[in-house]
Amino acid sequence: MVGEDKPFPTRAALAIGSLVTLVVLLAALPWLLSDYGLSFMVSVMSYLVLTVAWALFSGPTRLVSLATSAFFGVGMYTVAMLIKLMPLYATFAVALGVGALLAGVVGVLTLRIAGMFFVIFGFGLSEMIRQLMVWWEINKTHTMGRYVFVPFDATLIYEHLLGLAVIVFFVGWQLRRARLGLALMVIGEDETVARQVGVNVPFAKVAIFVVSAMFMTMTGALMAPRYGFINPNFAFNPLVSFQVVIMAFLGGLQRLWGPALGVIPLIILSELLQTEFPFWFSVLLGIVFMVIVYFLPRGVTGLIEDGWKALGRPLELQRGLTGPLVDAWGWMSRPIILPRGIAGAIEDVWVKIAPQTKGRR
């Protein structure tokens, strides 16, 4: 199109218009949904923020972080511990500070050493804080947990999480047109080149790790009033970390909005597994995780592409169940290939519908 005048609703105006409409619609949901529907949406919204925040760090740096539950837990448990001492919003602020500080320290300590160590540390961090809090509560404060009774109902939690989601998307979107965002992309590709263009690589990694962790912490803090009674085992649930990784990979990591697409399918699957097979839930989730890691390194699009070819090939199962286990672990400690996921599948369809639109990369 080489029209002299731009058509009145320009593409940008159209995009902003539809986004605003979407947010308004989402904001109206609590008044349209049943209690169950709202509780489902609270779940969706919290995982949405966690997953997009996870991708903010892991997408460009290509390091798998399992520290999500540590920051989520710190947010939740800080609010639980302080709620009797100060107003709710003040507890949020303190939680955010604690999360940022923890991320800064952890980042400085671990991000220089990539690979396996970083993965183990992220997982270990959450477990360590959980054990530490259990010990503290039993030996020092003699409580088994904390009561959080505040007038902050599901609707308010949902609206706050929606606001947080808008912010995390905005930050991610801005990052793609900012100095730090470009630096992170170079780092993800080749750290030597990043240094050679003048990027302070450790600093850039810690910076984005802190930003990402602050969103996770805030999500945990906002979720605290959702549950009347919170103990460390509940707040620092390692499954949260794994679920977030699965969601991001399922949705695809090459677009900002990709990870979001993995959230709803996995929440539905999780609810199903949890109600049908409560005892086996974590095992089944682990299997889902390994299936995705082992069979879907490129997300759902890759599955569709490969599935067709694979039909003609015999399955390779000689190495038994340990094979996927070993591979999954090894894979996590390598820089990841950004999966295209559901986002990729949608893009492919879009290109077929509108062949004139060119994908940027």
Contact positions vs another protein (CB under 8 A): 177-179, 182-183, 185-186, 189-190, 192-201, 361
**Measured from the CB atom, is 6 or 195 closer to another protein?**
195
Contacts of 95 (CB under 8 A, 6+ apart): 74, 75, 78, 79, 82, 217, 218, 220, 221
Least Å from the CB of residue 196 to another protein: 6
Encoding tokens for residue 162?
Answer: 């929606």
Q: Amino acid letter at 199?
A: V
Least separation in angstroms between CB 55 and another protein: 16
Taking the complex as a whole, the smallest distance from the CB of residue 77 to another protein amounts, in Å, to: 38
Looking at this protein, which amino acid is placed at residue 110? T
- Kindly tell me which of 10 and 200 has the beta carbon lying closer to another protein: 200
CB of 280 to another protein, least distance (A): 40
Closer Cβ to another protein, 200 or 233, answer by number = 200
Nearer to another protein, 84 or 179 (CB): 179
Count how many Cα atoms sit within 13 Å of the Cα of residue 297 in the half-sphere of its side chain: 12
- 3-state percent helix, strand, coil for the chain, nearest multiple of 5: 75, 0, 25
- Smallest gap from residue 51 Cβ to another protein (A): 22
By beta-carbon proximity to another protein, the closer residue of 181 and 324 is 181
Residue 343, CA distances (Å) to 22, 134, 256, 301 in order: 18, 41, 9, 8
Contact 224, 75 (CB under 8 A): yes
Residues 318 and 297: their CA atoms lie apart, in Å, by 20
The smaller minimum CB distance to another protein, of residues 143 and 200, is found at 200
| 3-class SS of residue 330 | helix
Helix or strand run (H / E) with residue 347: helix 341-353
The minimum distance between CB 337 and another protein, in angstroms, equals 11
* CA torsion through residues 301, 302, 303, 308, sign: positive
Q: How far is the CB of 346 from another protein (least distance, A)?
A: 20
